[in-house]
Amino acid sequence: DAGVTQSPTHLIKTRGQQVTLRCSPKSGHDTVSWYQQALGQGPQFIFQYYEEEERQRGNFPDRFSGHQFPNYSSELNVNALLLGDSALYLCASSRRVGVGTDTQYFGPGTRLTVL
């Protein structure tokens, strides 16, 4: 059973560019959440997708956007990159349970460096 997969593993961009990160959830999971983990910090919640719609959002600007596809995979897009966007971006998948979800399982992350 494949777990959560993310691509690419590493990415280098320059300020002002745009980036797209990808995530495939664990088999049987229908909900995808994205987190940003700055160096030396815990993960911070960006947003969560379910049924192809953004359901919840953390305190991130609208330069951060996402998408979920019918097969439950997801993309995170960041526009107008800033140096401060350099971080490990983690995807987590889970199953919808009522108005919430079951335990989240994390992928290995994408390391984004903005120069």
Partner 1 sequence: AQSVTQPDIHITVSEGASLELRCNYSYGATPYLFWYVQSPGQGLQLLLKYFSGDTLVQGIKGFEAEFKRSQSSFNLRKPSVHWSDAAEYFCAVASSGGSYIPTFGRGTSLIVHP
Position among 14, 17, 18, 41 found at the interface with partner 1 (CB under 8 A): 41
CA–CA separation, 83 and 32 (whole Å):
26
- Beta strands at 5-7 and 105-106: parallel, antiparallel or unpaired: unpaired
Position among 24, 33, 68, 74 found at the interface with partner 1 (CB under 8 A): 33
In terms of Cβ atoms closer than 10 Å to its own Cβ (0-12, 13-18, 19+), residue 108 is middle
A 10 A CB-CB count for 91 gives 28
Residue 103 within binding range of partner 1, rule CB under 8 A: yes
Task: List beta partners, residue 12.
Answer: 113
Cα angle 104, 6, 98; round to 5 = 25
CA–CA separation, 24 and 106 (whole Å):
11
Stretch 59-88 residues interacting with partner 1 (CB under 8 A): none
Nearer to partner 1, 16 or 51 (CB): 51
Residue 106 CB, shortest distance to partner 1, in Å, is 4
Nearer to partner 1, 68 or 94 (CB): 94
Nearer to partner 1, 34 or 72 (CB): 34
Residue 40 within binding range of partner 1, rule CB under 8 A: yes
Residue 36 CB, shortest distance to partner 1, in Å, is 11
Residues that bind partner 1 in the complex, under the rule CB under 8 A: 4, 6, 33, 40-45, 48, 56, 58, 90, 92, 94, 97, 99-101, 103-109, 111
